Structure 1
Amino acid sequence: MKIIPNALTDRGSKYAVSGGPVASVEEAKAFVKTLCRNKKFAKATHNTWAVLLPGGPVKNDDGEAGAGLVILRMLEREGLQGHIIVVTRWFGGVHLGGDRFRRVQDAVWIYLGEMGDG
């Protein structure tokens, strides 16, 4: 499990991004559950995630409508199979509107960049 705890901030909202290999929907859900054992992540406003699996794509918006699809499209573009990416947001008091999708994209790019470095 790779966690980038302070990936970015925007108008008070803070973002983290995490990921790792998973082979099934059950493993993906277990990954998020393990992440949320950390109280900081459990208290987050949203833990949105997506993964491309042999049985098809799986995503969860966790209340941030459309965010899982943003992650999924990026995974498809990169051809990254069997690897979950979770974008965590702590709401900072200011609604970001459409910019929230750009921040999700930015967080995924940060994660993918660090993957390439590692």
Structure 2
Amino acid sequence: MKIITNAVIDRGSKYAVSGGPCGSADAARDFIKVLCRNKKFAKATHNTWGLLLPLGPLKNDDGESGAGMVIVRMLERAELQNHIIVVTRWYGGKHLGGDRFRHVQDCVRVYLDAL
């Protein structure tokens, strides 16, 4: 599991991105469980994720509507299968509007560049 903290900070909201090899829906649930054993990630406002499998994409917005699909699209462009990417957000008190999707993209780019 690779974790990059403070990937983006905007108006008090902080983002982290993490990921690793993952080959099934069960493995994705296990990955999130392991990530959330860290109290910091368990207390996050959102842990959104995306995963490309040979049978199709899986995603979870975790309340950040549309963010999982942003991750899936970027995985498709990178042609990265069997690898989960999780973007974590700690809400900072101010609404970010559409900027939140740009921040999700930025986090995924940071992660992909670090591979």
TM-score (norm 2): 0.99
Give the structure 1 partner of residue 72 of structure 2. 72
Residue in 2 that maps onto 1:89: 89
Paired residue secondary structure (2:18): strand
Query: C-alpha deviations, 1:25-44, integer Å up to 9, x for none?
Result: 10011001100000000000
Identity among equivalent positions (%) equals 73
- Partner of 2:52, secondary structure, is strand
Partner residue of 1:30?
A: 30
Distance 1:55 1:70 in 2: 19
CA distance in 1, matches of 2:77, 2:60: 18
Secondary structure of 2:64's match? coil
The offset of 1:5, in angstroms, is 1.4
Structure 1 CA distance, aligned partners of 2:58 and 2:106?
20
SS state at 1:75 partner = helix
Distance 2:105 2:89 in 1: 13
CA RMSD of aligned residues (A): 0.5
Q: SS of 1:96's equivalent?
A: coil
Structure 1 spans left out of the alignment, 5+ residues: none
Which SS does the other structure have where 1:110 is aligned?
A: helix
What is the number of residues matched between the two proteins? 115
Please state whether the residue corresponding to 2:17 is helix, strand or coil.
strand
Deviation, structure 1 residue 97:
0.3
- Which whole-Å CA distance do the structure 1 matches of 2:72 and 2:10 have between them? 22
User: Runs of 4+ in structure 1 displaced over 6 angstroms?
Assistant: none
CA distance in 1, matches of 2:7, 2:103: 10
Structure 2 unaligned spans of 5+: none
